[in-house]
Structure 1
């Protein structure tokens, strides 16, 4: 038994978590099945590679090590064998990660619908303090985002959590709006954000064909010259507006579409597509 005064509390499944005097937690041995232990450790590995960790990057590794140390030897050996044999086709992401305290404070504000004050730095290095009515936290593309209403401007905004240096709850409450959920709001916000290049395309195909290569997080999509009563699942001309800091990634994407397209702007993109086509043609003609 752990002594009183250490903040003991009962968790789910009869697991008793006891807060130590230095802020940590002590857990009696957890009864995990082989599948449960595997799920926990693979979750930690996947989270680390996807960039979904906090600023305490070492916490992921130390948590994995602690779990493995208390596992029965026969399970630990099997998991070690799996982790040694496991390979990934992608490289681990290098992302700026949010502060754990900021993440938990904003999560609490989302749950209880309380305003939260945040100190934010935009990508241009400008700092500001904002009052946010946070609707939700979204993990996308290896980063953490919070979306909600910016009380100062009265409009919805999306912020990267790693660019928030401090967050504190404020008195009061707010009502969450109806409509798209937090994930869709983040994707829409990313697709409509200001970037260096404004690109406008017309692509002939279905929504599904285009979204497979240009997802909602990187491009807006709307019908172009649609006909009333037309089958929305049929191939047709669609206007697509990607937002890009660089243009060099777009020509291979357009080539992979396998669909007719028209570049309306910018001319620089048209030149890059022609260069790619000439390069591929020269490669294909080599003996």
Structure 2
């Protein structure tokens, strides 16, 4: 029946014999499908005569959401996971969309999907969604796709407000926030209160890897302390031992089995434990204060290990 509706959506009058051939059914079944569509208040008209058949009323458009069982389950799971990750712009958007989806599903599938949603649990904690404006998110995404400049109203982490013109080339979801990647820096999307498309176009950004650009920007954010450590190990091995987006790991040309780990921190008290967790030999390049804090941690660990 849905396949018949899709065929009629193409416009014009479709002969019953042609429809039966396309659908792989007999003409009587086509007429029955057409009656079902009429019962659903879809304006299907029958046309009599030699070239008669069925057609849709002019201007009618098929409902925007028709899903198979697998598609419905995929959408529902996507809504739940997106909400838990903190990436759904409005806290009620996923709940209302999921409720609408469950209302229109066949009873059996809705019941089984409800069982999945009520019995599922996750190992990662749920993140609170940042107060991101959906209109801003879509505007930025459109500008990135079409290589357009955008004028934004932005509030930085110190609470200072400004109006800026940026050239976005991607939006990135990371750790419960959306970020906007530009050629020279990144912006937290929930700190953008308005965004307006401009007619000026931009060139493709070098490298064109928004996710990497955001991670590097977060790792080099201007906090109080700059930490630089040489670590014995490959870049992939060391990177796997660090939280994503926390540090910038760079291979050293002079030594293929050493990398430089750089990060910014407001306080240093948590950095010694991070370095200990690497379980790799390292040399602290800066700051000097970090060396004593690492030594203090090593002394405490030795004392605790001795009981």
TM-score range (shorter-chain normalised) is 0.7 to 0.9
Deviations 1:209-254 (A, max 9, x none): 1111236722223344715xxxx4xxx2322112223334333322
Q: Is the partner of 1:195 in helix, strand or coil?
A: coil
Q: How does 1:1-287 map to 2 (within 5 A)?
A: 16-17=63-64, 30-33=66-69, 35-54=70-89, 56-149=90-183, 156-214=184-242, 217-224=245-252, 226-227=254-255, 232=256, 236-286=257-307
Give the total of aligned pairs: 252
| CA shift in 2, pair 1:73/1:252, >3 Å | farther
Higher relative contact order (CA 8 A, sep 6+): 1
**Distance across 1 between alignment mates of 2:105 and 2:293:** 55
CA contact under 8 A between 2:235 and 2:251: conserved in structure 1? no
Q: How far apart are 1:101 and its partner, in Å?
A: 0.9
**Distance across 2 between alignment mates of 1:271 and 1:96:** 38
TM-score (norm 1): 0.79
| CA shift in 2, pair 1:142/1:110, >3 Å | same
| CA shift in 2, pair 1:36/1:95, >3 Å | closer
Structure 2 gaps, min length 5: 1-40, 44-58
| CA shift in 2, pair 1:216/1:71, >3 Å | closer
| CA shift in 2, pair 1:69/1:246, >3 Å | farther
**Distance across 2 between alignment mates of 1:9 and 1:199:** 63
CA contact under 8 A between 1:105 and 1:169: conserved in structure 2? yes
| CA shift in 2, pair 1:83/1:278, >3 Å | farther
Q: If you compute each CA radius of gyration, which structure gives the higher value, 1 or 2?
A: 2
Q: Is the partner of 1:124 in helix, strand or coil?
A: coil
CA-based RMSD of the aligned residues comes to 2.4
**Distance across 1 between alignment mates of 2:42 and 2:149:** 38
Q: How far apart are 1:32 and its partner, in Å?
A: 2.2
Partner in structure 2 of residue 153 of structure 1: none
CA contact under 8 A between 1:135 and 1:148: conserved in structure 2? yes
Q: How far apart are 1:95 and its partner, in Å?
A: 4.6
Q: Is the partner of 1:123 in helix, strand or coil?
A: coil
**Distance across 1 between alignment mates of 2:304 and 2:112:** 48
**Distance across 2 between alignment mates of 1:163 and 1:195:** 18
Structure 1 gaps, min length 5: 18-26, 150-155
TM-score (norm 2): 0.74
| Greater fraction helix | 2
